[in-house]
Amino acid sequence: MLELRRVPVNGVELNVALDGSGPAVLLLHGFPHTWQLWTDVMAGLSGRYRVIAPDLRGFGASSGTVSGCDAGTLAEDAAALLTTLGVSAAAVVGIDAGTAPAFLLALRRPGLVRRLVVMESVLGTLPGAEGFLADGPPWWFGFHSAEPGLAETVLEGHEATYVDWFLSVGTLGDGVRPELRDAFVRAYSGRQALSHAFSYYRALPRSAAQIEQAVTADRLTVPTMAVGARPVGAALERQLRPIADDLTGHLIEDCGHIIPLHRPRALLTLLRPFLAGGDAQPRAYC
């Protein structure tokens, strides 16, 4: 039974969706989404796993903040969330803005992360993504990062149009269900909500430095799966290949950036056997 809970971690309160029982799976969303990005994935996993899907700090219904939106702090939030929920180890799945925190959590705390799945993002300035970044980062990275608050000023009152663009492009024009679209628009409406979300982009240089420093000290030792679609493709897998001990890569055909909502069945087909490989007590799929 799906439950929404407020969980205090690291000086903020996270809005967390919980469902199912069994080995824990932590799901970390991106922009412009909330935990509801994982609606279909949670339904497909909750018969076998305890699924934990927070709104990242500053996003959705979690505490609004413009501080601590760097990948390292978001990884600490995730670790504190698992500890508070009594979870000693979890599989961690991240997409977009959730990828870098998931990666740093696995790199820094391999005893806490059983398995790692990362999707549709690149990890700072690590080698391997040069083809994807040949023309520079996506245009909205600079727009969202511009100070002082340019994007908020321009977008206030036009949030629905802006979110709709991302949802359309991220599903190759298919869009998402109206109830989910409306939830995402509500989550990113208003100057404060936009400012909180864009703080993630303004922290990207710090996040990139954290990633670069982390990989000079440690290798990624946990079993890892990199999943790509359009537009990132295999760039993330190429970044991970030199630093990961156990890496599997997959591309989902005819799939946009928002993999969990655009092609949830294809994603679940990859997730189920990969996650089961790390189960302490394997059970039949429901």
Q: Write out 99-132 in H/E/C secondary structure.
A: HHHHHHHHHHCCCCEEEEEEECCCCCCCCCCCCC
* Token reading at 275: 């996650």
Give the bridge partners for 8, in sequence order.
13
Residue 64 has pLDDT above 70, yes or no: yes
Q: How far apart are CA 280 and CA 22, in angstroms?
A: 10
In this structure, of 160-164, 193-197, 244-248, 278-282, the range with the lowest mean pLDDT score is: 278-282
CA dihedral 120, 126, 127, 133 (to 10 degrees): 50
Give mean pLDDT, residues 76-92.
98
Q: Nearest-5° angle of CA 173, CA 55, CA 99?
A: 70
pLDDT at position 278: 61
Residue 203 has pLDDT above 60, yes or no: yes
Give the global pTM: 0.96
Give mean pLDDT, residues 30-52.
98
* Amino acid found at 55: D
**259 or 65: which leads in pLDDT:** 259
pLDDT, tens digit, 9 for 90 and up, residues 258-274: 999 999 999 999 999 99
Binned at pLDDT 50, 70 and 90, residue 279 comes out as low
Q: Is 59 helix (H, G, I), strand (E, B) or coil?
A: coil
Q: How far apart are CA 195 and CA 46, in angstroms?
A: 33
Q: Decide yes or no: CATH 3.30.420.40 for domain 3-276.
A: no
